[in-house]
Structure 1
């Protein structure tokens, strides 16, 4: 890192403070994601590899990482300097420090189940392996802090718009349905019959939009973020990579693992993340939120919405 003029680079100022290793890596990742659209094709290849292979960047040689990213070592050096580092080694130090406290490893439990199960049909267990691994990657110290930040943004907002189309509509619907029980000003954006822009026009700088999107990214979701961003709406994005077109301009970004043997991306991690964020909102929000939940249940029971069992 350059010590001669730290104020010339905002990233250097942040990284010279006493931050946790995961926070320092998060700062670098955010800078990479923000810069990504403007990078040259070679730097994009390098940045994409760095964002998606932090463990390899931490412990591989620069030549091996460059070969894996299909770029030259000098391209990785240029990327490191683009991020404000004096050398690639200092850039890599951030990754080495952060990966020491990795995610909770749950995939081993699924492997244990596989060893116990005697079957010639591995599909069921393959889905289990992927599910354990995806959830394990979600529960990190870094995400814990980010979940609390997301809850604060939502609690401070006047209204919350929730956006997700096609494969992530289930995520948006779940967030809006469950969240609205405690916080009535959460609104699911459906965009039916060409009404997307009309639905979004009522949100402004006092509001927040929560958007979900995995590759292949829906044009409607990108458009929704462009429209709300132009109106000053703050955004929380849940996506699969920091190279996602939903990331630029977001106040908070969650990248969730969605690998699965199934033909559609898994939404398990996204649904679990939703539950964590909404639970945080109720835990740290005003008492009225708890009252809203109790009132909802009372109304549902009065209307006969639930079937009672003896």
Structure 2
């Protein structure tokens, strides 16, 4: 427990020590909570840090500052602003994140093993994932922007075709959406091709369509680039991502922040899938309720 100052209150340095983020998720939460109050240059390096955590983990102060477009001294001020005594202490949080993210599945299993080296029982593993899922769902229930949800469904419902973009861990979300939308009679196109024709498929999208993209840190570069090209061509973009500093947030018409909890380094997709289901069903209902001409009108937000 921190000591109180002479007037019975904690000093600023003591309070910072108590609140010091010890892992990447905690650090991310602190940055996002303070983003509106961050000075311009510190906000700039904060955005770069969350967008490029690997570079922060292993870059030098000089190389990171150059890439982020700030002075090296800004890195120190950024670290101290968050309660760290210097940039190297902050950098260790990013390095630990990289060790966790890049761990093999065998290493992740090792984190679940008991002291005797044996994995917990199957029911205990299930309970771990259920607990992580409940945590994720509870956060989404408290933080979802209802107005943004309504706007997203209205925009999707008016689209001639919904283009779905995702890769790697995020791909199951768009795969499900393609299935659900087809069952609901809503035309969609999964931007995925074994022949490597993703760019050609996406090139058919126009301003009358909508692209829905899903990507989480460390953000698959190809997905980000395809989404950026669509946005530059005037295709409305809705994103599901995990940070206000995600590259998708800067050029999406509407975006949703979804932070999934993990169990032993394995992340669930419970909140993301719940949001995807809500979007699909909402679009299906909006299409059923609205007459065809209304569905073809461009969004009032455009």
TM range (shorter): 0.5 to 0.7
Partner of 1:187: 189
Residues 229 and 267 of structure 1, relative CA distance in 2, 3 Å threshold: same
Distance 1:288 1:222, change over 3 A: same
TM-score w.r.t. length of structure 2 = 0.57
| Partner SS for 1:210 | strand
Match in the other structure for 1:208? 210
Query: What is the SS of the residue equivalent to 1:192?
Result: coil
After TM superposition, give the deviation of residue 66 of structure 1 in Å: 3.4
Aligned 8 A contact 1:138 1:269 in 2: yes
Aligned to 1:173: 175
Q: Which moved more, 1:152-161 or 1:254-263?
A: 254-263
**Gap regions ≥5 residues in structure 2:** 1-31, 51-78, 88-119, 292-302
| Alignment of structure 1 residues 274-289 onto 2, 5 Å | 274-287=276-289
Classify the secondary structure of the residue corresponding to 1:130: helix
Q: CA deviation at 1:211?
A: 0.4
Superposition RMSD on alpha carbons, in Å? 3.4
**Aligned-partner Cα distance in 2 for 1:123–1:197:** 40
State the Cα distance separating 1:223 from its structure 2 match. 1.6
Change (3 A) 1:230 1:47: closer
CA distance in 2, matches of 1:173, 1:221: 15
Flag structure 1 segments of 5+ consecutive residues without an equivalent: 1-28, 51-62, 72-119, 290-310
Q: Matched residues in 1 for 2:265 and 2:189: separation?
A: 30
Per-residue deviation at 1:214? 1.1
2:250 corresponds in structure 1 to 248
Distance in 1, Cα, partners of 2:218 & 2:290: 39
Q: Is the 8 A contact 1:45 1:69 kept in 2?
A: no
Distance in 2 between the 1:206 and 1:189 partners? Answer: 17
Q: Distance in 2 between matches of 1:159 and 1:284?
A: 15
Count of residue pairs brought into register by the alignment: 197
